[in-house]
Amino acid sequence: KAGVTQTPRYLIKTRGQQVTLSCSPISGHRSVSWYQQTPGQGLQFLFEYFSETQRNKGNFPGRFSGRQFSNSRSEMNVSTLELGDSALYLCASSLSGTDTYEQYFGPGTRLTVT
Amino acid sequence: GENVEQHPSTLSVQEGDSAVIKCTYSDSASNYFPWYKQELGKRPQLIIDIRSNVGEKKDQRIAVTLNKTAKHFSLHITETQPEDSAVYFCAAIPSRSSGDKLTFGTGTRLAVRP
């Protein structure tokens, strides 16, 4: 099976702009979670989508949003970018079955805000 | 919510020695504890995990132990090799009612000296 893929891999944006990142999960996986990774804050949970519904949300401002499509692909959007949004954005997919918890990460999108 | 603490933040060992990384969690309902290895510029890679109904799990040179009473779990790497050098993250998922939200520790940078 193909692994989790993310596009684009690198992005440079200016403060105030918005950005959309995409994540394609492993075939058959229904859950997609998004994480922000920074040197200072480590890996922080943004939100999780399951069957096109947001199932869980982290402590990020409303500028961060996401959605999931019927094929389980997910996008996240950040509006009104700030310098502090510069980070590696990782998505992870999982089967999320009755007794399955394993999450597998994509390569990430490196976002730089100038 | 869940809080995961990880120690040490850096660890340097001689090739062939053992390495131990420890994590504690706060939510007694947590039932899944994965460990991820992240090499420089790469995605986090799931290397081993343990469920709350198991005390220990081994996979070749890697083992994880869980003490539910004390709410801590540890990663043990034996016969370390230079390719084990990476940042290791522990994580926890509370009960399934919280979806698949992973709460991560702050990471341990392991350096294996040849």
Per residue in B54-109, pLDDT (tens digit) is 899 999 999 999 999 999 999 999 999 999 999 999 999 876 666 778 999 999 99
Q: Which of B91, B101, B104 has the CB atom closest to A48's CB atom?
A: B101
* Chain B (17-76) residues lying within 8 Å, Cβ to Cβ, of chain A: 32, 34, 36, 42-46, 49
Task: Supply the DSSP symbol for A84.
Answer: G
CB contact under 8 A, B46 and A103: yes
CA distance A77 to A73: 14
Helices (runs of H) and strands (runs of E) counted in chain A: 0, 11
Q: Chain B residue with minimal CA distance to A46?
A: B101
> pLDDT tens-digit profile of B3-52?
999 999 999 999 999 999 999 999 988 989 999 999 999 999 999 999 98
CB of A51 within 8 Å of a chain B CB? The answer is no
Q: Nearest CA to CA, how far is B96 from chain A (Å)?
A: 9
Q: Which of B36, B101, B105 has the CB atom closest to A45's CB atom?
A: B101
CA distance A17 to B15: 48
Average pLDDT, chain B: 94
Complete edge-to-edge strand list for the sheet that includes strand A64-68: A5-7, A19-24, A74-78, A64-68
Q: Nearest CA to CA, how far is B91 from chain A (Å)?
A: 10
Q: Counting beta carbons within 10 angstroms of the beta carbon of residue A98, is it exposed (0 to 12), middle (13 to 18) or buried (19 or more)?
A: exposed
Q: Where are the alpha helices (DSSP H) in chain A?
A: none
| Per-residue confidence (pLDDT) for residue B98, from 0 to 100 | 63
| Per-residue confidence (pLDDT) for residue B53, from 0 to 100 | 87
Query: Nearest-5° angle of CA B36, CA A67, CA A91?
Result: 15
Residues of chain A with pLDDT under 70: 98
| Per-residue confidence (pLDDT) for residue B96, from 0 to 100 | 61
CB contact under 8 A, B107 and A94: no
Beta strand ranges found along chain B (DSSP E)? 4-7, 10-14, 19-25, 32-38, 45-51, 56-59, 62-67, 72-77, 86-92, 103-104, 108-113
Q: Percent of chain B, pLDDT > 90?
A: 83
